[in-house]
Amino acid sequence: MASIQYYNLSQKRGDLIVIRRVTFRLYPKPAALKNLLYARRLHKDLYNAGIANRKTQYERFGRSVNYLEQQNSLPAFKQVWPEYKELGSHTLQATLKRVDLAYQSFLKGLRGKPKFKSIRHYSGWTYPDIAGWKVHSTGDNGYLELRDLKVSIQMRGKARTWGTPTTCTIVYRNGKWYASITVECTPVRETGDGVIGVDFGVYHAIAMSDGTIIDSPKFLAKTQSKIRKASKQKRRKRAPNFKKKVKGSKRWKKATRKVGKLHTKVANQRQDWVHKVASQIVSSNSMVATEKLNLKGMTRKAKKGSKRKRQKTGLNRSMLDVGIGKLTDAINYKLQEAGGFLVKVPTLTVKPSQTCPNCHHQKKKDLSERIHKCSQCGYECDRDVAASLVMVSYALGTSAFNRGSEISTSVPQETGGWKQIWEKKRQKPTVQCNNGG
């Protein structure tokens, strides 16, 4: 069984198997398109039924329904709604899993209460294993066969590294269809033997220990303002109102498409930027030291009535625009592919932004102080570059810091993922096995 090992220190490159996601654009013929739309509608109805079930059970009887209970009721559900028999049973389970994930993040306080979804806001469905679909491709264009819908669809796109397909998610977004396929593969990537510290900040998006400073890309802000304009245009058109039985106007639909297109553009631009920067860093460095970020705290909304609100929203904006979390993820997995590793510097014990990289003298800086100037040894450089230099010295162990637990390892969490669900299911039949022991 393959698994992703984060912060992998082993230098054995031969048996590294990772999971990568490749997205292809789908070009369905009219007949196939009809089936896709039909299946999407059925999955949407199942999703809403899952929500309704949990809601009524909780509100009327005060009991909470879990995923397994819903999954076990699927056969009975199919007796009542025979059209679901045509769809792959694992895809139905995956849709119920979406309900479960929505509730789990709601219960953790990460998002609002799950709501019923309209077809307009329903993206698609997932084939959680290799059953029911087949991809005829070597990672460069090809065909996707969906057995439950009896369709074969042309797809376009290219994978950097191709491998064994494991799951497939069908996505409908802004009038276009996509297949997001995960593959198990052994990636190949070149890297150098450099060591670098990378500091993510608010003033500069990225400051590196070799003195490189990358600011948050301007084009994102540009597209962002275009989005604001287009949304304003959209608000002035007649939107649909189902309670008053008002249909959306043609102009509203057109404006909606425009906004959607711009959102896609921003997402693409950001992803492009993230991957370019990450591969640039990894191409010459096999050891990267970064700060363990508390993104949640950094991007949290300011309290109501707070004077810092303005300041904080600006801060949040630039943080989110850059997509620091995505960038660290990208650096991390590219390092794995190249056989390098990531050192996460514990901010609280090392204090990179308060420490002198030359003599390790610690002194708290004000947010407005852009230049590091040591009062002890007189060392002077950019504030963020100084922080990244401290991270490097920590990572190399050349510093005065205590290197007790320098490399953090990931602890598996209860995420409600497929693997964990299946492990739980496997544990179930224990009664019969007991007489042997």
Q: Judged by CB, which is closer to Zn ion: 275, or 365?
A: 365
Binder among 358, 388, 389, 392 for Zn ion (CB under 5 A)? 358
Q: Judged by CB, which is closer to Zn ion: 52, or 371?
A: 371
SS3 category, 303 = coil
Binder among 25, 111, 235, 361 for Zn ion (CB under 5 A)? 361
What is the footprint of Zn ion within residues 411-430 (CB under 5 A)?
none
What is the footprint of Zn ion within residues 318-357 (CB under 5 A)?
356
Q: Judged by CB, which is closer to Zn ion: 359, or 407?
A: 359
Q: Judged by CB, which is closer to Zn ion: 333, or 401?
A: 401
d(CA 61, CA 157): 49
CB 201, min distance to Zn ion, A: 20
CB 190, min distance to Zn ion, A: 36
CB 376, min distance to Zn ion, A: 4
Angle at 171 between CA 168 and CA 172, to 5 degrees: 155
Question: Looking up tokens 């694992």, which residue turns up?
Answer: 90
CB 378, min distance to Zn ion, A: 7
Question: Looking up tokens 């290197």, which residue turns up?
Answer: 403
d(CA 412, CA 73): 29
Q: Judged by CB, which is closer to Zn ion: 226, or 373?
A: 373
SS3 category, 87 = coil
CB 358, min distance to Zn ion, A: 4
Contact between 216 and Zn ion per CB under 5 A: no
CB 211, min distance to Zn ion, A: 18
d(CA 319, CA 196): 22
Q: Judged by CB, which is closer to Zn ion: 6, or 379?
A: 379
d(CA 340, CA 164): 24
CB 379, min distance to Zn ion, A: 5
Instruction: Supply 356's token pair.
Output: 């002198």
Q: Judged by CB, which is closer to Zn ion: 276, or 361?
A: 361
Q: Judged by CB, which is closer to Zn ion: 375, or 432?
A: 375
β-bridge partners, 213? 207
What is the footprint of Zn ion within residues 369-388 (CB under 5 A)?
374, 376-377, 379
What 8-state DSSP symbol labels residue 86? Answer: G
Handedness of CA 389, 395, 397, 399 (dihedral sign): positive
Cβ atoms of 17 and 185 closer than 8 Å: yes
What is the footprint of Zn ion within residues 52-81 (CB under 5 A)?
none
Half-sphere exposure of 34 (CA within 13 A, CB side): 3
CB 400, min distance to Zn ion, A: 12
Question: Looking up tokens 């920067």, which residue turns up?
Answer: 277
Helix ranges restricted to H, 307-381: 309-322, 324-338, 347-350
Q: Judged by CB, which is closer to Zn ion: 40, or 383?
A: 383
Cβ atoms of 340 and 287 closer than 8 Å: yes
Instruction: Supply 67's token pair.
Output: 């995923």
Binder among 359, 367, 371, 407 for Zn ion (CB under 5 A)? 359
CB 141, min distance to Zn ion, A: 57
Q: Which amino acid is at 91?
A: T
For the chain, the helix, strand and coil percentages under 3-state DSSP, each to the nearest 5: 45, 20, 35
Judged by CB under 5 A, how many residues of this single chain contact Zn ion?
Answer: 8
* Contacts with Zn ion, residue ranges (CB under 5 A): 356, 358-359, 361, 374, 376-377, 379
